[in-house]
Amino acid sequence: MHQMRPGRHVCPLLCLSAALLAGALLAGPAVADGVTPSEARQLRDEVKDMFYHAFDGYMQHAFPLDELRPLSCQGEDSLGGYALTLIDSLDTLALLGDKERFSAGVEWVGKNVRFDINKTVSVFETNIRILGGLLSAHLIASDYATGMRIDSYDDQLLHLAVDLAQRLLPAFDTPTGIPFGSVNLLYGVDDDESKITSTAGGGTLSLEFGVLSRLTNNTVFEQVTKNSVRGIWARRSKLNLVGAHINVFTGEWTQKDAGIGTSIDSFYEYLLKAYLLFGDEEYLYVFQEAYKAVMHYLHHDPWYIEVNMNSGATVWPLFNSLQAFWPGLQVLAGDVDPAIRTHAAFFSVWKKYGFTPEGFNLATSTVQNGQRSYPLRPELIESTYWLFKATRDYRYLDVGRDILASLQYGAKCPCGYCHISDVETHKQDDHMESFFLAETVKYLWLLFDLAVGPDNIVENGPYKYIFSTEGHLLPATPEIALVDEHCLYLGAFCNDSTTRGYGNGDSSSKQRSSNYTQFDERQTASSQYSMSNVLFRTRGYIKGVCPGLSQAQRLGISYHVGEDNTVGQNSRGHQNPDESYVVQSSVQAQSSSVVLISHPVTSQPDESLMTRSGTQHHENIVVVADSESLREPTSTDTIGGSSEELAVDTDEEIVSLDQNEDSTS
661 catalytically annotated: no
Q: Contact at 8 Å (CB) between 143 and 153?
A: no
For residue 554, how far is the Cα from the chain centroid?
26
How many Cβ atoms are within 10 Å of 71's Cβ, its own excluded?
Answer: 17
CA distance 504 to 256: 40
Residue 125 is a catalytic residue: yes
The SS3 call for residue 639 is: strand
In the 3-class helix/strand/coil scheme, how is 11-36 assigned residue by residue?
A: HHHHHHHHHHHHHHHCCCCCCCCCCC
Exposure string (b/e) for 393-431, b if CB count within 10 Å is 16 or more? bbbbbbbbbebbebbeebbbbebbbbbbbbbeebebbbb
HSE-up (13 A, CA, CB side) for residue 537: 21
Annotated catalytic, 433? no
Q: Residues 371, 201, 286, CA angle at the centre, nearest 5°?
A: 110
Q: Evaluate whether 96 touches 45 at the Cβ level (below 8 Å).
A: no
611 to 20, 294, 632: CA distances (angstroms): 9, 22, 20
Based on the residue annotation, tell me whether 208 is a catalytic residue of this protein. Answer: no
- Please tell me which residue in 66, 379, 449, 470 is annotated as part of the active site: 379
576, 574, 577, 582: which is closest to 559 by C-alpha? 577
| Catalytic position from the list 88, 155, 208, 358 | 358
Angle (CA) 501-505-507 rounded to 5° is 135
From 88, 125, 163, 269, the catalytic residue: 125
Contact 610, 332 (CB under 8 A): yes
Nearest to 388 by CA among 468, 323, 444: 444
Identity at 229, one-letter amino acid code: V
183 has which bridge partners?
Answer: 121
- For 233, phi and psi rounded to 5 degrees? -65, -35
| Contact yes or no for 581/574 (Cβ under 8 A) | yes
Write down how long the chain is: 665
DSSP string, 589-607: HHHTS------TTTS---T
Query: One-letter amino acid identity for 161?
Result: A
φ and ψ of 612, to 5 deg: -145, 155
What single DSSP character describes residue 304? E
Rg (CA), the chain: 24
Of the CA atoms within 13 Å of residue 468, those in its CB half-sphere come to 31
In 299-377, alpha helices (H): 326-333, 336-353
Q: 10 Å Cβ neighbour count for 241?
A: 24
Catalytic residue among 155, 173, 208, 265: 265
Q: List the catalytic residues.
A: 125, 265, 358, 379
